[in-house]
A and B are shown apart, each in its own frame.
Chain A
Amino acid sequence: MKNLFAFLFGALFSVGLMVSGMSNPKKVLDFLDLFGDWDASLAFVMMGAIAVAFIPFQKALRTAQPKTVFNEPIDLPKNNQIDKKLITGAVLFGAGWGIAGICPAPSFTLIGLGHYQVLYFIVAMLVGVWIHRKWSGA
């Protein structure tokens, strides 16, 4: 039952990406092209998402032991450290995002839309995750 919900949330996320334009790499690059012909529209994706998520997330944070609708614990990140790993990781991710205009979620929507050349990106991304695991010894 919960897995079915997870599937439906993934489906909704997918539709959100396709409706908003986030699944279009060209549009993402136009959004990141601050010094060119800037397309600001994707900033509104973030605003829409946060407009919905802000209060529920804050409510979970401000509850001592937040519970799901199935009365199970809600798992929120506890790490608050701003360290070299966070910054280096964000720089590398941002650089990759700016090169192809693809971040992890939209890469998956592009397969079903028939843009199979995205598999170069996806396979490389999975290899990148694997390299990180070997390198960090986790």
Chain B
Amino acid sequence: MHDFLIAFIGGLMLGLSVVGYLYVNGRIAGISGLIGQVLNSKTMFKTPAIWFLLGLILTPFIYGLFVQPEIELNASPLMMIVAGLLVGFGTRLGSGCTSGHGICGISRLSKRSIIATMTFMFAGFVAVYIIRHITGAF
């Protein structure tokens, strides 16, 4: 199957998941938002966020027994620490990530989310350009 089609099918699953979470649990499935809810003692068990995250974390243990998806993670520990800090802080400051702004926000046609998505994509392009084409790392 063509890469584009496989990606599209995976995307359909993500869409079904966020629609389900909206219509059953009544909330936006933005992963950075769910992390924020779980890390806050006031909301930790008040929202279903922890259950969604558990499904997200545990499923690959089983999925991996049947299919080993191709994974290449080349970032050094230091790069991962810097990236993690930026992603954690940035998604809370900007109230969302690829799922919350990208999938849910664009589906709502929220101007705020469309601008956030364009901005983080652009920042991602620039970061990769600098790392791959200026410093010459992977």
Contact = CB atoms under 8 A, between A and B. Distances in A.
A109 B60 CA distance: 6
Contacts of A11: 55-56, 58-59
B60 A132 contact: no
Contacts of A81: 112
Nearest to A61: B108
A87 B122 CA distance: 11
Contact of B123 (A39, A50, A94): A94
B115 to A, nearest CB: 6
Nearest to A135: B89
Interface string B109-138: 111100111011111111111011100001
A51 B71 CA distance: 26
Interface of B: 3-29, 31-32, 35-36, 39-40, 48-49, 51-64, 67-75, 77, 79-95, 97-99, 101-112, 115-117, 119-129, 131-133, 138
Of B7, B74, B110, chain A has the most CB atoms within 10 Å of the CB of B7
A11 B16 CA distance: 11
Of B12, B92, B104, B125, chain A has the most CB atoms within 10 Å of the CB of B92
Given A77-B28, A112-B64, A124-B81, A86 B95 contact: yes
10 contacts: A7-B55, A9-B52, A13-B18, A26-B72, A44-B5, A51-B12, A57-B107, A73-B26, A96-B84, A121-B87
Contacts of A120: 77, 80-81, 84
Contact of A9 (B25, B109, B116, B119): B25
B87 A103 contact: yes
A99 B14 CA distance: 24
A99 B15 contact: no
Interface residues of A, number: 113
Interface string A2-46: 111111111111111111111111110100111110011111111
Contacts of B95: 77, 79, 85-86, 89
B56 A10 contact: yes
Given A41-B4, A121-B83, A68 B60 contact: no
Nearest to A34: B125
Nearest to A90: B119
B11 A20 contact: yes
Those 4 A-B pairs whose CB atoms lie nearest each other, nearest first:
A89-B94, A128-B88, A48-B11, A20-B10
A72 B120 CA distance: 33
